[in-house]
Amino acid sequence: MKTVHLIQHTHWDREWYFTENDSKILLYYFIRDLVNRLEQDTALGPFVLDGQTVVLEDGLQVAPALRERLQALIRQGRILIGPWYTQTDFLVVGAESITRNLLLGKADCDAWGGYMPVGYVPDSFGQSAQLPLFLREFGIGCAVIWRGWCEQDVPYSEFTWCSQNGSRVTTAVLPWGYGCAKWLPTEGEQAARLLPAILEKQARFSLTDHLLLPNGNDQSPFEYGVPAMLASLKESQQDYQFARSSFTDFFKALQATGCPLPEWHGELLSAKYMRVHRGIFSTRMDIKQLNARLERFVSQALEPLLAVAGRLGLPCPQQAVENIWRGAMKSQAHDSIGGCNADRVNSMVKARLCDGLESAQQLFELNMAMLAEGITAQQTGKKIIVFNPLPHARDAHVRLTLYTPHADFCIVDAAGTPCRWQLLHDEPQDMSLIVQELSNSTTTTWYRKCDILLEAGALPACGYQTFYLQEGRAAGFDASTAGENVLENCWLRLELAHGQLELLDKRTQQRYPAVLRLVDGGDAGDNYNYSPPPEDWKISSDGCLTQWHSARGPLHDTLTLNWHIPAPADAAAREARCCNAGLHATLILSLPHDQPWLDVEVEVNNTLRDHRLQVEIPVGVTQAFHYADQPFGLIQRENQPAALQQWQAENWAEAPASLWPMQSLVMLHNGARGLCVVTEGLREYEIPAQQPDTLAITLFRSVGWLGKADLPWRPGRASGMALPTPDSQLPGPYRAHFALFPLAQAPDAPFWRAVEQWRTPACGYLDTGWSRFRTNPHGLHFPGRYSLLSWDCALHFSTLKKAQHSNALLLRGWNPGLTPVPCGQPAATGTPRRVTLAETPAGATDDVIPPGTPVSWLID
């Protein structure tokens, strides 16, 4: 006899085709009904509240009087909560966001008095290979998932899942989803006719006689009559024993069988039985970029600065930082960050991210201003504070915005030695828009707004250095001059010839012709999935260069290319092969004098609809696999999924397209030749089937529907709703930023150090003495140069922040490559202790860190 574990639950999307306002109003009635039913019948429960504590947070906004009753049920184990704060995405969202999601979710569970120790992920659009790592770091040994699994990866729906560093969790799949047993009849005879087919499907891939039966669905109320109905079937059949259960009880029963479980290593992205919606990696790319910017700025600029400021005696606004993270996580839920929402919802997702970035930038500027206030000037002029968040000293080029009434200015260090800088942009600025005191003036105060790049040498580790702006004094070096059609430094040479770009790696003499070619094709898909038109007509930038100019500067040389690409305005024009519109695009290519990378900015004015714009980067390496980054690691993937040959014959739910997610990096190399692309917020790449030696980075795609039916790459019903989403066409200006890193050999320590330099820039602040807001003097005194700690090792910096539950500092790095590296111990005032991502003692540790592994230190 098989044991059926009834799991009663709801899957609570905060927003989707409806807004969070809609769901909160519904939540009032849902929570009230759930509490009443459980209190009226003590035999009912447990009930899984979707594994995310944000449901409780939202619920108390509309039903605060229910707090004590809810808490009592949670403490009794009749309502199961956690471990997540929100049901996040795992392929688009960054590693620090996933970590903080569990950290805040666990803190919420502790406050409520209950905790479901199961990594419940019912609806993420594909599963990261690193999910076992995150769960194990938080002491969670079990996971329940849905999308991405199929028996061709691992033959059973119960298995041991291993992450890159060997972390292991016992995993159960809901092969037919969390809603496979929704809306069960409460009358026994009807249920007896319906259930056998459901249970037969549930048992199809099961390794043992223990089956999960999830009873619930999207925003569904408690089906309180189901347990009694199942109990009534006890006498009428002999095949199944039904138990009101939980995921924890299911895993206990699974373990008690003693049945050995198969192992799986890697990600789960199969679309054989369920859609994984591979197009979400590039849907609403503006939202993806904003989220990436917020994640990086908070974890790698704001929090490190607050750690430094806190050790110097300034207050730490920890609750404000936590509020920023919680707001971001509400926009990182699988639908929200996926962009597969109604336009109104996408506007709210974007607004939350903008709100978080505004708060983070204000915190950063106020703390920089307070640091500057406490520093005794060693030179004349206005103080410039340059902050280096990395835990090792470095030289850096720092972007700064200066406001000055003078035609000339000089920047010097603490010893009075002039520094080199390069003017990037110069325009007049009405200062009444910047300084509140000038807003009521009867005359306009005009300054120059100068965006510059400052050469800052020997910046201290996790610290700052003071420079000085001396206005009215000549810079003391030659400014930019006109250049030629070639950019060149010690490592690289880029040449423009006949409208195309060729990159030369001078270390190996390897040439990369026709790099950075813009290609625009049709997109007949929706917010969930890219789908090529039945007969696509692709337009490229070949022959469309209208003008170019270059400049040689003190710090880097630039080449600017302008294209006007005739193109079809929409799907109908593309089908008719009619170029009735145009795509205006600008590429700004910068080659620093002191680094082995080519910096690329793309600016596009998007007036087209129903299309996808990619930049193609031929590598000239043909092999079966490539590498991309994933949360806290690097993953090897096949260039062309083998399942492409069989998906249609087997009636898969969705094509296993060669569209892949990345955190920020993809590379194709063979040890002698190769290219790595590192991006700022771009999350999708492709290796086209007809161009297996080419990396195609998706800049953005434009679609006009939330869901469409019968797509060639996704047959059948529409995903979501057949709802127009004109904002998802992304009309107007669009900007993307990335860099090319040629590989002279297999990735080594200098390569990874250069990648870290590009991904984690130093930050600058000019203390003008003017401010939008004023604070009273704090009376503290700070040195002009300061380093909080150092940790000079091969690990990449992840964050430096205040610990969650104490005044200690938390420092984290991770191994970005594919070989083990030593990590050493940070040099800091205080005793560093290794801890987990959960900030609990790490137990036995090793100085050699495996690939794909984070290392966290708690420093008192």
Token output for 226: 């189901």
Burial of 502-527, coded b for 16+ CB within 10 Å and e otherwise, reads: ebbbeeeebebeebbbbbbbbbbbbb
Q: 3-state class of 334 per DSSP?
A: helix
Q: 3-state class of 674 per DSSP?
A: strand
Rounded Cα distance between 527 and 756, Å, is: 32
SS (H, E, C) 143-206: EEECCECCCCCCCCCEEEEECCCCCEEEEEECCCCCCCCCCCCCCHHHHHHHHHHHHHHHHCCC
Is 123 a residue of the active site? Answer: yes
* CA-closest candidate to residue 55, choices 8, 89, 100, 20: 20
Rounded Cα distance between 69 and 552, Å, is: 69
CA 542 from centroid of its chain's CA atoms: 33
Token output for 773: 């807001």
Token output for 811: 């420092």
SS (H, E, C) 495-516: EEECCEEEEEECCCCEEEEEEC
Rounded Cα distance between 197 and 203, Å, is: 10
Beta bridge partners of 494: 487, 503
Exposure on the CB side of residue 236, measured as CA atoms within 13 A: 13
Beta bridge partners of 159: 171
Residue 818 makes CB contacts below 8 A (sequence gap 6+) with: 627, 634, 636, 747, 851
* CA-closest candidate to residue 531, choices 637, 609, 617, 612: 612
* CA-closest candidate to residue 85, choices 55, 122, 59: 55
Q: 3-state class of 568 per DSSP?
A: coil
- Its sign, for the CA torsion 10, 11, 15, 20, is positive
Rounded Cα distance between 698 and 683, Å, is: 8
> Catalytic residue among 50, 108, 123, 599, which?
123
Q: Which helix (H) or strand (E) holds 662?
A: none
* CA-closest candidate to residue 600, choices 586, 590, 615: 590
By annotation, the residues acting in catalysis are: 123
